[in-house]
Chain A
């Protein structure tokens, strides 16, 4: 597992030759978890809601469909309901702002730990193309599932655990249980 390939682009090569710095080690997982927990607690204390991610994708999809085919959003139930609940427009949404922050924060973290690197990561046993297809299908399924589950690993599982929500914790168990159940069939993708 140590010999994972990263398909580098010119950008990375240039960087390597110029700086040749090794990425910093990752943070201790328990310490990172503790900070994550404090952040989640603070978020609940300030805003009354937890963290999230997939909701921003939903906003993005509604906004896109609304600008491409406005008549469709007026007739189809899903968009109609969504726009009714979000009178100020789909993009003026807490999670959209939060997700922009996530991109900035992760970028800053990558910057200070020397991990900024345009690359495609995959197991040595598969082709880059397989990884691309896998990532796309995986993203599609995850987002589809997040609609049913009313949240993803952040919004349903992690935040649900913090407020002890029955639904959130059941979704969490289904996510990890499901992944373990399917892991065997897709082992060639990873190990």
Chain B
């Protein structure tokens, strides 16, 4: 599951990735014509809308891709960098950048592209930008108030607007197509050209069709996460699903034995977990199972993941999700935690005589009744798993 940094690709290798990403970025921008200020400012005087076409197509393609990747569980959106929103400085900064754009004819990325192919104005723009950052750095005490005001966290626009993600994505695609059409009319008018007949080109229809198909699939197919969580709410389905079970006796034995392979996944509410927890247990919610952090935990080599909750069915729901997600050695505690309490922790030896095998079991349970509370006591401080992965720090 993405992002691949830092687990699959180390932080040092990431710099190599950065170099290659940069090469591709510079190459594409130059091929698109972003190395000349004439083409860039054309956007603002209506004679060349290349920037809008490239920019909007790029943004929409990437956005659809991120939606689709998240939908099919290929990327954990909780870990990617979402630019934070500081409303006032976002607007003020944007307007200053707009002014810089119209006076300078470049933006920082494109000035680099221009400079690389020998545009002297590109180099001068870069020199100017060094001064710009320097002014901000030196005047920072003065700007800090505005810079940090109006913090909204890192919301995503569909959340701010109160729309669903798919509706927002579709509105944006629609807006993009509309903008492409209207700007081509404007462009022809400004340049005094007649509007050409509509000429479909196979390649672009193919590409657009492909993009729409991916987008549409994300729109129509239920989200994998939601679908899974929905499916486990069907009690009959859960009952029929086979998950290996572990009896309370076996669990107690393995705990006393200090079996290193045991890993208890406690799906009760965190409050309950803090009040009482078994050794070697971690607290998880059903949602956590979809996160990259916990994926690491559940795929640790040779571990047996025992799901437990107050009752068996609740634990089994989470275990089914884990099983469907492809985790191995998923088990569920038979009888749930309440069963464990009855058979082990509050064990009462029956009055009636038992056969030899039962007598053994009873003897073990009496021993466990004495030992396990001590293990629980020893483990009181440990057990809580902290999230280790943080959001990637990005931005300009």
Contact = CB atoms under 8 A, between A and B. Distances in A.
Interface of A: 1, 4, 7, 26-55, 57-58, 60-62, 64-65, 76-79, 85, 92, 94-95, 97-110, 113, 115-123, 131-132, 134-183, 186-187, 189-191
Q: Which of A51, A62, A76 has the most CB of B within 10 A?
A: A51
Given A44-B75, A109-B26, A122-B121, A38 B61 contact: yes
A78 B134 CA distance: 10
Given A142-B107, A178-B94, A105 B22 contact: yes
A162 B102 CA distance: 25
B375 interface: no
B63 A177 contact: no
B113 to A, nearest CB: 4
A165 B396 contact: no
A141 B112 contact: no
B128 to A, nearest CB: 3
B29 A106 contact: yes
Nearest to B160: A166
Given A26-B50, A54-B133, 11 more contacts: A51-B21, A105-B25, A137-B100, A139-B129, A158-B55, A165-B84, A173-B94, A178-B95, A179-B102, A189-B102, A190-B41
Nearest to A32: B32
Contact of A50 (B103, B124, B204, B394): B394
B96 A1 contact: no
- Classify chain B's interface size: 35 or more
B75 A52 contact: no
Interface string B120-155: 111011111111111111101101101100001011
A47 B109 CA distance: 19
Contacts of B28: 27, 32, 35-36, 39, 105
30 contacts: A29-B32, A32-B31, A36-B29, A41-B69, A44-B75, A77-B140, A98-B25, A100-B22, A101-B19, A102-B26, A102-B29, A104-B22, A106-B116, A115-B117, A122-B121, A136-B125, A137-B128, A141-B103, A142-B96, A142-B106, A143-B131, A152-B97, A156-B395, A161-B62, A166-B85, A166-B160, A171-B90, A176-B98, A178-B97, A190-B45
Contact of B5 (A48, A64, A95, A176): A48
Interface in B24-81: 24-33, 35-39, 41-45, 47, 50, 53-66, 69, 74-75, 77, 79-81
A181 B122 CA distance: 23
A116 B35 CA distance: 11
Contact of A191 (B21, B47, B140, B165): B47
B339 interface: no
B17 A49 contact: no
B273 interface: no
B287 to A, nearest CB: 20
The 10 closest A-B pairs by CB, nearest first: A138-B104, A101-B22, A178-B98, A174-B94, A37-B61, A33-B57, A139-B128, A148-B93, A149-B93, A105-B26
Nearest to B150: A167
A174 B74 contact: no
Contacts of B39: 26
Given A33-B55, A183-B102, A174 B32 contact: no
